[in-house]
């Protein structure tokens, strides 16, 4: 099956106007991910850089971050069947209640929603003196606050508050998961407006390894107007982008392509791939 994007150019600048989306989620800047069976969505592990423990602070709460760099995570694919699950334990000699929710941050606006504002969960979030497990549906939270402006594609943090003053609770095994299938993003990605004619020109071809491999396959760049192939190449061995998307990434270079064309025409990059069948 053919996967393609259009690279258009002007007289001085080879510009990129994509029919495919740029790399987005699990996101761009995702937390650690846990591989799941088959095509199931990966589980986002909110594990505090591998320590797997989050303890509330003196102000009575905690900011549990999918990214400890405070970058947002695109968790939109978890909207309908996704859950936030965790274990929690009181560090006092008694059980302690708490509030828990999610915060999004987009366009300089932060929106925080709490499950514990909902009747179904109000007063029911308790950290006992032993580890207690909870699983909270994301859909319930968003549907109860449909007009809030919450942006799940810019998930910022899990927000905990309302812990008794002078006491603390600890969370572990915090994760966002779903029974839904992984959503593959378009293969070919160009993350810039365009290319100068004599400058460096690269594009990325990426996908999740669970869908197969396209190492060594041929790609072509074709003049859209004439249909003639102007450049061919072999995909190099993929590198694992384990810090961001978790995808296998091929980088292709077409610096030698220096002939500009009218903006109404352009070049087409394409290749045939067996792993494209889930699109």
| Residue-wise pLDDT tens digits, 159-207 | 999 999 999 999 999 999 999 887 666 677 765 656 777 888 888 888 7
Q: Name the DSSP class of 138.
A: H
Q: pLDDT, tens digit, for every residue of 64-85? A: 999 888 889 989 899 999 999 9
Supply the DSSP string of 29-77, one letter for each residue: T--EEE--STTBPPEEE--TTTT-EEE--TTS-EEE-SSTT---B--GG
Task: Please check the confidence at residue 5 and state whether its pLDDT lies above 50.
Answer: no
CB-based contact 73:82 (threshold 8 Å) = no
Report the candidate in 7, 15, 5, 6 with the shortest Cα–Cα distance to residue 199. Answer: 15
**Does this chain's domain 2-23+185-278 share its CATH topology with 34-178?**
no
pLDDT band at 1, cuts 50/70/90? very low
More confident site: 101 or 237: 101
User: Residue 132's beta-bridge partner residues?
Assistant: 88
Task: Please check the confidence at residue 30 and state whether its pLDDT lies above 80.
Answer: no
Task: Please check the confidence at residue 223 and state whether its pLDDT lies above 90.
Answer: no
Q: Name the DSSP class of 140.
A: H
Task: Please check the confidence at residue 11 and state whether its pLDDT lies above 50.
Answer: no
pLDDT value of residue 19: 27
pLDDT value of residue 271: 52
Helix ranges, the chain (H): 138-143
Report the candidate in 232, 250, 253 with the shortest Cα–Cα distance to residue 241. Answer: 250
Give the burial class of 205: count Cβ atoms within 10 A of its Cβ; 0-12 exposed, 13-18 middle, 19 or more buried: buried
pLDDT value of residue 218: 84
pLDDT value of residue 215: 84
CB-based contact 154:55 (threshold 8 Å) = no
| Domains of the chain by residue range | 2-23+185-278, 34-178
CB-based contact 64:70 (threshold 8 Å) = no
Q: What average pLDDT does the chain have?
A: 79
pLDDT band at 216, cuts 50/70/90? confident
Q: Which region among 16-20, 92-96, 172-176, 265-269 has the lowest average model confidence (pLDDT)?
A: 16-20
Q: Which residue has the tokens 């509030």?
A: 99
Task: Give, in order, the Cα–Cα distances in Å from 139 to each of 64, 84, 115, 246.
Answer: 20, 10, 11, 25
Q: Which region among 78-92, 117-131, 180-194, 260-274 has the lowest average model confidence (pLDDT)?
A: 260-274
State percent of the chain over pLDDT 70.
76
Mean pLDDT of 57-69: 93
Q: Which residue has the tokens 């032993």?
A: 130
pLDDT value of residue 29: 37
Q: Which region among 17-21, 139-143, 159-163, 242-246 has the lowest average model confidence (pLDDT)?
A: 17-21
pLDDT value of residue 185: 62
CB-based contact 273:3 (threshold 8 Å) = yes
pLDDT value of residue 184: 61
CATH topology of domain 34-178: Jelly Rolls (2.60.120)
pLDDT band at 228, cuts 50/70/90? confident
More confident site: 86 or 271: 86
Q: What is the CATH number of domain 2-23+185-278?
A: 2.60.40.10
Pairing between β-strand 229-234 and β-strand 202-207 as defined by DSSP bridges: unpaired
């Amino acid at each position: 099956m053919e996967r393609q994007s259009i690279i258009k150019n002007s007289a001085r600048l080879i510009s990129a106007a994509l029919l495919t989306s740029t790399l987005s989620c699990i996101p761009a800047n995702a937390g650690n991910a846990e591989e799941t069976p088959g095509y199931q969505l990966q589980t986002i592990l909110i594990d505090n850089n591998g320590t797997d423990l989050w303890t509330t602070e003196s102000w009575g709460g905690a900011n549990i971050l999918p990214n400890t760099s405070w970058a947002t995570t695109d968790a939109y694919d978890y909207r309908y069947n996704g859950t936030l699950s965790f274990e929690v334990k009181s560090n006092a000699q008694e059980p302690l209640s708490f509030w828990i929710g999610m915060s999004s941050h987009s366009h300089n606006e932060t929106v925080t929603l709490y499950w514990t504002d909902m009747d179904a969960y109000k007063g029911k979030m308790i950290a006992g003196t032993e580890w207690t497990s909870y699983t909270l549906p994301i859909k319930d939270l968003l549907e109860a606050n449909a007009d809030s402006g919450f942006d799940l594609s810019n998930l910022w943090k899990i927000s905990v508050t309302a812990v008794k003053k002078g006491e603390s609770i600890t969370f572990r095994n915090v994760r966002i998961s779903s029974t839904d299938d992984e959503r593959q993003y378009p293969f070919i990605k160009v993350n810039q407006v365009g290319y100068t004619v004599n400058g460096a020109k690269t594009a990325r071809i990426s996908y999740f390894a669970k869908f197969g491999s396209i190492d060594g396959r041929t790609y072509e760049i074709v003049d859209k107007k004439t249909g003639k192939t102007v450049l061919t190449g072999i995909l190099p061995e993929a590198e694992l982008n384990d810090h961001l998307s978790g995808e296998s990434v091929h980088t292709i270079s077409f610096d030698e392509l220096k002939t500009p064309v009218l903006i109404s025409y352009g070049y087409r990059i394409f290749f045939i791939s067996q792993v494209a069948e889930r699109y």
